[in-house]
Structure 1
């Protein structure tokens, strides 16, 4: 699976990662999910991001933990829809994330893609606070082989649905990288969420799983 490109994904499925129905009931002013600030975006100049640690062999992910935003959720496998966009976890499973199984496994060399809902019809979902992540935050992925791949956040950005940078988000990488994706970019009663929040991270550590 090493070196696999995610170019099969043609676009994101903005609506599928958050319905926004509960915002209409609770009020968007107080219920809207946090959005990343400009300070969390990639910088155009400055020091290079550290190289990280050597890549791991392929192994499917089983659970993701993001301590700073209190995420602790199991994985399911995701494919593509009939239109070529990334599929999404079931809308009735608020604490579940999906991994694009035709691509890179988290910790392997390349770009691993993980998606989760920002909300469901009943309220906030697993990635509701994804936009509140800061650079340097830790993301841990427990893998089937008994290892935990530890990632460090490099940037958190938000994109309009009509200007989503497919290559930047899904493109191949020569080190182990991770993308976490959910809906964001503001909410419209007419069209729903306007875009996506994307977290960029790279592998910085590996440890045995305490569950083994």
Structure 2
């Protein structure tokens, strides 16, 4: 998230809008990433005796589908779109809508694409968290009982276990509260995306009806 943008913290702060354009210059390819790791190996030699084993090398690769095209909104108004991971298809001349969600009006992260010609919407669940920032960490749930137990051992040795358990209970409750709020906010973002998409589809229907009327 950009340092100039604040994450969405309340449902009231969710702002969404869409832009619909014509697809130009579609390109598709695959990117392969190769990873290698080394383990084992070594040994010893003493007075000419011993053994040496070669390290084991493991190699793995992952392939990612990439789609890139330009969205043409009007004369001298276009932008490049790159989508990794597959899941969205478009070809030259099709009408596509991009939905953007952010913490202020008129700006936002790309969270969904809709192809009006095919009727397909691409909105990965992972994209929903971009406007929200990081999800609540459960690290406190692990740290709090340790801190409580140490404090108990120093101050009240006979109750160290009680303070550790109390710390865990407090941290777990706090984390559950934050995680619940985050899930609620995430669902509100999902609902706003649906509302914006509905507006985009309605506008596309009006545009298509107008063109058909002119052709008749």
TM interval, short-chain normalised: under 0.3
TM-score by length of 1: 0.27
TM-score by length of 2: 0.26
